[in-house]
Amino acid sequence: MLDLTKSRAILTGASRGIGPVLADALAARGVDLVLAARSEAGLEEVRAKLERHGRRVLTLATDVGQREQLERLVEFAQRKLGPIDLLVNNAGIEQTSYYEGLELDAIEQFIAVNLTAPMLLTRLLLPSMLAANRGHVVNIASIAGLGPAAFNEPYCASKHGLVGFTRSLRASLKAHGSAASASAICPGFVSDAGMYQDVHVRYGVVAPPQLGTCTPGAVAQAMLRAIERDEPEVIVNGKAIRHLLTLGMAFPRLSEWLVKRLDANRVSRELAELREAGV
C-alpha cells in the first residue's frame, strides 16, 4: 500500500474528461503532480485549479503515442520532482464504428495510446520504484477490458491488453516480494465527463438503464482506494455489470443471449450507424 502524502506522480490524459477529477483527488491527498496531455492550454487550466491544495503541480504537453515524448516526460518529471512513485495511465482514445471501415492508421493509434504508452511509461519508471521498494501503477482501463464491446474492437482489444498487462505486472511484483504494486480501474459509462458524456451530448444516446453509469468522482475514489488498499481491480459501475461479466466468463453463450435480451449493445450500435452515415 502506498501512502499518498507527499508522493510524486505522473498523470496522463490530465487536461480533459475524468483527468482533471483524478488530478484533483490526488492533489487533495497531498500528491505532487506532473500532468501530461496534448493540450498545453488545457493542462494549464487544470494546474491553476489545483493551486488551492498547496502541492507542486507541473505540466508538460505530451503526445503519449510518441515514444520520444514519453521518455521526455519521465526525464522532466524526475528532474523536477525527484523519483516518481505513482503513475496513473489515464490517457485513452475511443471511436465506436464499424471495424471494416476503420483506417489502418487509426487502429495502430488506438493500440499506441491505450496500451503501448502505459506499458512504456511503466517500463521507464519501474526500475526506480523497485530500487526504492515503493510505488504504484494505476491503469485506467474499462469494463470493455473485461468483456466484449460491440463496434469497439480496437478499444476493447487495447483495454483487454491493459487489464492483462496490469495483472501480469502485479503478479511479477508480488513474486519479487516488492512493495511496489499495480491496479486496474474498470469504469463503464462515465457521466458528466469523458467519452460517454461527449457522445451523449453530441448524439443524444443514453446508456442502457440495466448497465447504468458512474460519475468521474466515483472513478477517482476507486483509484484512491486501489492505491491505498492495494486492490488488484476495481469495477466502478453497479452490480448488473459485475453479474454480466461473471456470466460471460463462466457461460459465454448464455452471456451473449442475455446481452441481446437486454439490448446492451444498443448505444454502440447507434453510434456506429450515426458515424457510418457521417453524422
**Residue 216 host element (H or E):** helix 216-229
Q: Give me 247's grid cell.
A: 456470466
Helix then strand count (H, E) for the chain reads 11, 9
Catalytic residue check, 155? yes
Task: Compute the distance between CA of residue 195 and CA of residue 255 in angstroms, rounded to an integer.
Answer: 25
- Give the Cα separation of 239 and 171 in Å (integer): 26
Selected catalytic residue, list 98, 155, 196, 203: 155
Tell me the three state secondary structure of residue 194: coil
Using DSSP's 3-state secondary structure scheme, residue 203 falls into helix
CA 250 to chain centre: 26
140 dihedral zone (left: phi>0; alpha: psi -120 to 50; beta): beta
List residues with catalytic annotation.
155
